[in-house]
Amino acid sequence: MGVRIDVVDPGSHGLGTAIGLRQLGHEVRYFGGHSAQPREGWADGVRRELVAHVFGEVTAGERPGQGSDLLVLVDVFADYLHTLHTGIGPVGVEPSDPMQDDAGALIYPMRLQYFCELAQAAQQVAVIDMSDHRERREVAFEALPNAQLFAREVHGERQGKWRPFPFLYNLSMLWLEHTQAEQGWLTRENRPQSWDWAFCGTVAHERYGRRRELAISLIAERWPQMRGAVLGQETFEKVIAVLQSVRFGLDLPGVGELCFRMHECLALGTPVWRPLTGKVALPPGLEGVVATDPEQLQIRDVDAVRAIYAEHYGPRAAATWLLEKLQNADQYWIYQATNIAPIASK
């Protein structure tokens, strides 16, 4: 039996999880952000098309949490706090309302107040921090008696009251998966093997602390027989083509340990090579398609890799992870107060 779930996600960081909740058969209303200033572009169009395709339009004037069994609040809370404390980062434009998504960290005081008001009026709440940073957590949420707290970059089982949520999705890849026919973007047979590995993304950036540069140097030293390619600023179409022309996709940490490459590669049926051992534990079940040593990547069949991705890392897996953690909380709080059956994976 499905439940009513409202997802408030002004930055689109929780869109994959919201899609997974819908896939599990729950009644999901998605409240995304909007810009104070009109803007055009492929990325913004992709987001609008994906949201409309999966969720339809939310009726104007509806307030998140009203009549719902679960309110899910998603944002990059620790990243905002880091920017406000250090003064580093884009400023954005003058904030006008809490769901504005083009105001940078300046929006945070207004948004935090709005989120807390929503949470205090809701029955049950899940807060998900999708930040790259992990050194600061929002203590205002820790005081909410009806909230369970999750974060992407948690080392171990807990970081104070915050539990791990090790999932990260590329918005463009989600758009391909859920709105476009597979024959237009997925190659299953006769994939050219241009290189052993490829990394598609920025390498030299001051925020990364040379971690990616050092990792690529390590690969050249330890695996000199491996032929690889590094692609910087390329179109998404080029990235998709390259990641289907290599034996492994290279996954390197940026500011946080989790990277979009995990989602992109596995959704394309390409195993993932992570040469650096991280402290963020991945969901179980990925061992055959994600490894620190390329010799451990024994599963190469495109459909087999994609099947593992769907079961253990795709949007449905993230939604299942979230609901199971909520269900296993003390006193099964998610359904105790709503008089409904426990949430179960379908």
Q: Where are the domains of the chain?
A: 4-167+315-336, 173-312
Q: Which fold has domain 173-312?
A: Rossmann fold (3.40.50)
Predicted pLDDT of residue 335: 40
User: What separation in angstroms does the CA of 74 have from each of 1, 119, 197?
Assistant: 24, 12, 33
Predicted pLDDT of residue 254: 82
pLDDT digits 0-9 by tens, 115-140: 999 999 999 999 999 999 998 999 99
DSSP 154-219: --SS-BTTEEE------HHHHHHHHHS-GGGT---SS----EEEEEES----GGGTTHHHHHHHHH
The mean of the pLDDT values for the chain is 88
Which residue would you say has higher pLDDT here, 274 or 213?
Answer: 274
Residue 277 has pLDDT above 70, yes or no: yes
Which residue would you say has higher pLDDT here, 342 or 326?
Answer: 326
Q: Which CATH number fits domain 4-167+315-336: 3.30.379, 3.30.160, 3.40.50, 1.10.3470?
A: 3.40.50
Predicted pLDDT of residue 216: 86
Chain center to CA of 210: 23
Q: Is the pTM of this model over 0.85?
A: yes
pLDDT digits 0-9 by tens, 45-64: 899 999 999 998 766 678 99
Helices first, then strands: H and E counts in the chain: 12, 11
Predicted pLDDT of residue 74: 98
Query: Which residues touch 140 (CB under 8 Å, ≥6 apart)?
Result: 112, 116
Predicted pLDDT of residue 305: 97
